[in-house]
Amino acid sequence: MVESTIPTERPVTGPNVPGWQVPSANMGASIGGTPLIRLKHASELTGCTIYGKAEFMNPGGSVKDRAAVAIIDAAERDGTLKPAGTIVEGTAGNTGIGLTLVGNARGYRCVIVMPETQSQEKIDYLRMIGADLRLVPAKPFRDPGNYVHHSRRLAEELGAVWANQFDNLANREGHRRAMAPELWHQTGGRLDAFTCACGTGGTLAGVALGLRELSAAQGMKAPEIVLADPEGSGLYGWVKTGDLSVTGSSVTEGIGQSRVPGNLEGIVIDDAERIPDAEALEQVFALLKHEGISVGGSAGINIAAAIRVARRWGPGHVIATVLCDGGSRYQSKLFNPEFLRAKNLPVPSWLA
């Protein structure tokens, strides 16, 4: 076992982590420390060991709980977030869920701006937990009506703290200080590659920074950092050729970008895979059928990218990826045969 040299802001907890302890009564401490699961089907297909970080097990059900608590911690520390203050954020939903739950626990009001195209389940969940939800029409980033710009203006009007997850580096810092050392401990420092999709880039960039520091401290080669990108996103082209041009579209939510978010700036991404929806959904359904784990579309893209890397490199390698959120968040879309047929996507046998 190789020891982490990165000081962690919050205890790295979880049954698979040495020194695991029962989290304290503060709900923020129950974020992170998720299990690293060996994905049996993907590993058997490739002869590699492919692991998935079970981020759907966070209290708000997604990897974005980590960004939410890191952003709130940082705003409390630098004094911008005052007791009983208001937080405003533009989100595809999961960050809004994390912010609202942590906000509830610490006495902050959360105003969440979200494109109306996101899944009904996330909308219902945000309402259920008491978010002040503002749905806006989906617009490209260059349009002033885009949900991110909308949330910035609203924060100014309300005199509130704008979480600004895309450009707020507290986001990637949270992943650098927690997710990266967790992965390092859980794999005993034996990791050849990490594949990950990008919404804000917080997970990809933070894990890349953390794993590179941890391997450098041990004089070891750093794992290869591979972007898993959906169609309709410019980031694959940006990694491959420096060109952010976009083709196609995707039914996945929360990932893909037409610009380079602040969290990704200055971070070297070693390689990229562009994954069509059908290939991602095949992995979503295989995971459910073969190992009883239900995940959303971005996790499918991440697993599909890990399988491609494993096939390119051949048997014996160790690859980790992120199971970003759970499938029940997309029941009305990815697990709805009418939706799938309308999008020309495969329908799993048990739903046909």
**Nearest approach, Cβ of residue 349 and ligand PMP (Å):** 25
Residue 298 binds to ligand PMP (criterion: CB under 6 A) = yes
Q: Are 194 and 304 in contact (CB under 8 A)?
A: no
- Pairing verdict, β 271-275 and 36-38: unpaired
d(CA 41, CA 150): 42
CA angle 4, 7, 12 (to 5 degrees): 70
Q: Which of residues 310-349 bind ligand PMP (CB under 6 A)?
A: 324-325
CB 201, min distance to ligand PMP, A:
5
Q: Is-contact 68 91, C-beta < 8 A? A: no
Q: How far apart are CA 130 and CA 152, in angstroms?
A: 21
Give the length of the chain: 352
* Sites for ligand PMP among residues 65-124 (CB under 6 A): 92, 94
Which residues in the 218-257 window bind ligand PMP by CB under 6 A?
253-255
For ligand PMP, which is the closer residue by CB, 175 or 317?
175
C-beta closer to ligand PMP: residue 14 or 61:
61
Question: 64 catalytic, yes or no?
Answer: yes
What is the identity of the amino acid at 123?
I
Are 217 and 186 in contact by the 8 Å Cβ rule? The answer is no
Site for ligand PMP in 12-51 (CB under 6 A): none
In the complex, minimum distance from the CB of residue 270 to ligand PMP, in angstroms, rounded to a whole number: 17
Token pair listed for 279: 């290939």
Interaction of residue 146 with ligand PMP, rule CB under 6 A: no
CB of 86 to ligand PMP, least distance (A): 21
Among 31, 88, 198, 280, binds ligand PMP (CB under 6 A): 198
Task: List strands edge to edge, sheet with 86-90.
Answer: 132-136, 109-115, 86-90, 161-162
- Cβ atoms 96, 73 nearer than 8 A: no
The DSSP secondary-structure symbol of 62 reads B
User: From the CB of residue 29, how many other CB atoms can be counted at a distance below 10 Å?
Assistant: 16
Least Å distance, CB 302 to ligand PMP, is 8
Q: Considering the complex, state which of residue 131 and residue 204 has its C-beta at the smaller distance from ligand PMP.
A: 204
Nearest CB to ligand PMP, comparing residues 28 and 93: 93
Catalytic residue among 64, 139, 240, 343: 64
Are 135 and 168 within 8 A, CB to CB? no
Q: Which is nearer to ligand PMP, 255 or 287 (CB)?
A: 255
Kindly list the catalytic residues: 64
Residues that bind ligand PMP (CB under 6 A): 62-64, 92, 94, 197-204, 253-255, 296, 298, 324-325
